[in-house]
Amino acid sequence: MRKFYDFIRRGEFRVAVCKNCGKKIWPPSEFCCDCFFATSLEKIETTGTLIECTTSHIYDSEDLYGVVDMQGIKLIGSLPGNTIPGTKVRMVECGIRESGCLFYHFDTCIRQ
């Protein structure tokens, strides 16, 4: 979906939503997987709950990554250190790296 990538390049997160049944489609698709109607890309609230997290030790880093549930949309993204499952988080940045990989950065809703 070229439009999805255009939004992400601008730092805007969008989700495909069915124009017929209203289902959120993730990963994004031009057609609903339930009723096969066309979708449109829409903004959603980018707050969610951290489901699980782990520390990456690639290249001697100690970066924290986790799975975040945002209204049924599950994303993997980076997190501030010491964030634990169950914490409310919000997406603060998204984009595409030079390598072509998508990235999502989250922060806690209330700094602890």
Tens-place pLDDT, residues 47-96? 999 999 999 888 877 899 999 999 999 999 999 988 999 999 999 999 99
Query: 49 and 71, same structural domain?
Result: yes
Tally of structural domains, the chain: 2
pTM check: above 0.85? yes
User: Looking at the structure, do residues 52 and 107 belong to the same domain, yes or no?
Assistant: yes
104 and 89 belong to one structural domain: yes
Tokens 């903004």 locate to 43
Asked whether 76 and 84 are in contact (CB, 8 A), the reply is no
Give the three-class secondary structure for 73: strand
Helix, strand, coil percentages for the chain (3-state, nearest 5): 10, 45, 45
Amino acid at 54: T
Domain encompassing residue 30 = 1-44
Dihedral angle sign, alpha carbons of residues 79, 45, 103, 53: positive
